[in-house]
Amino acid sequence: MATRSRYGCATCRKRKKKCDEGRPQCGQCVSRGVQCGGYDMRLTWGNGVASRGRFAGSTFAFPDMVRNGSTGTPSPQSAASIGSPMTILEHDTPGATTTAHQDSPHSSIPSQPSPQARDRQSLTYRNEEERDVILKNFLNEGIHRLYATTACESIVEAFKDLMPTSEVLTLICVALQEVISTGPTVSALEKTARALEMFRHQVSLENFRSQEELFMTGAWICTLHLIQGLPWTSTFYQFLEFCQIGDDLSKLRPNPRYHLGVRQQMETISVLDFPNFVLGRVSPSRGLWNRFRKLQSSWDDRYDGGVEPVTGLPRTMLDLLAFNPLDINEITDQCEEKLWNWNGQTSASLWVCQLWDCYRYAGILAIRHQRSLSYRISQSGRGLNISLHPQLDVGTGTVPSTEIILFRLLSSLNAVLNERYCTGSHPSLQVQHLALYPLVYASLQVSALKATKHPWREDLIRMREQIVALEPGTQGHLLQLFDILDEAWNSGYDGFDADGAARHRELEITII
């Protein structure tokens, strides 16, 4: 029987939970679907890495690891803490990130990594031949699995051009390929930590060949975190501060109007900033997508058509999905109608039409969920029992009721998942990126799901199982997400604060 012990795993000690001290992972963490923190003694200073003394540079207080260049295998929690979002840049405050590096004591450090850093880098792969094989696999297969559509050739070519001279970008790609191949592992967490360490060093020296390389490295550092279910938005916004991506995007240099690489990376960065694509977001959205699209509209040769490769969604639909949850009802009502009346566009794949419908309907439900959440908060402030209070009227203008929207969404999502799960079509796609956003906002329509006579709740559970079966390497944070959705169901009312529930669990879950 599990007993409370001061010698339990790091996760149970932090959560003040009983631990059965199972090896290699305790049963309590496995049953909750969280990453077991292990039993190694963590250093308590700074960000978990000693800055001086005989343990300098080490994440563990073991002399043999220090003598051997920290070659021991860290626990997942230890590796993740090195790459925690607040340590990407070596500054105490985000506001200092744009200038502090100029006066940094590290400015005199030579551009070549130290011998200790080279020793740590050498642990990533046994030899250059193995590294080249991993990179080849990433460019031929792995990179395409990080996009909802096939990555365009210009992006692949940009990688090929930058990687020979960018050790940090090479390390990121190696780690990404490992996560894609085997799922989040301790080894992948080690590589993530090393990539962040190298990126911090390059930032302190301003050691980037071009703005495109800086944008690409920062965006892929965040991607490496989010596909492992690690917090990343604080890292992301410190990165924005360093790149001086502020309110006036017209000052971006080189000008994205004439520089394809910078334009593509700005689109990727803007997608990461979407308000409703992350649960438990620590740093708020800055509305980058709308501001970048406004900049594009000022160009004579406006670039607003086609499909955005990260999400696989038409840019005209993303314009509608980038609404601010704090907008007034009149604006969100207009957004609902625009999503409902969206004309769409053609594609070579027939099933993509159903995918786009999923997002169109999910966007409508996301607006209504935010409206219900705001209503619930206002009623709670008045001391009313929200579980007994009637729900909001779900019909608005020309847009059908929530029940009809939900039915259409489930029908389209079922077709998309069956296309991949039952027929095995499109094996290169990460279906979790396609299905999570509509699945989440369908699951949050608690009143409609409880009121219907149809087995829609059972259908959603089945779809969850399909997603987990298709992406076994991501079960950890998916199970945590599904636990939040179950909590919403058990609450019995609309407007459940899924964002707050994720923050309470200290999670940041990307749902696209």
Task: Please tell me which residue, 371 or 424, carries the higher pLDDT value.
Answer: 371
What's the first-to-final CA gap in the chain, in angstroms? 40
* 296, 315 Cβ separation under 8 angstroms: no
Among 15-24, 65-74, 161-170, 363-372, the minimum mean pLDDT is found in 65-74
Is the pLDDT at 318 greater than 90? The verdict is yes
pLDDT tens sequence across 169-189: 888 888 888 887 777 778 777
Outline where 383-474 has alpha helix (H). Answer: 402-421, 431-443, 446-451, 456-470
* Continuous segment of H or E residues that includes residue 19: none
Phi then psi for residue 275, to 5 deg, are -60, -40
Residues 455-483: tens digit of each pLDDT: 999 999 999 988 888 765 556 778 899 99
The lowest-confidence range among 61-75, 204-218, 474-488 is 61-75
CA distance 396 to 402: 10
Amino acid at 261: G
**Residues facing residue 279 across a β-bridge:** 509
**Statement: the pTM of the whole predicted model exceeds 0.85:** no
Let me know the angle formed at the C-alpha of 59 by 54 and 65, rounded to the nearest 5 degrees.
60
**Full DSSP string of 162-231:** HGGG-HHHHHHHHHHHHHHHH-S-HHHHHHHHHHHHHHHHHHHHT--S-HHHHHHHHHHHHHHHHTTT--
Give the confidence band of 396 by pLDDT, cuts at 50, 70, 90: low
**Ramachandran assignment for 274, one of left (phi > 0), alpha (psi -120 to 50 degrees), beta (any other):** beta
- For Cα atoms 31, 230, 163, give the angle at the middle one, nearest 5 degrees: 135
Least confident of 57-66, 150-159, 480-489: 57-66
Question: What 3-state DSSP class applies to 279?
Answer: strand
Which residues lie closer than 8 Å to 287 by C-beta, 6 or more apart?
A: 273, 275, 322, 324
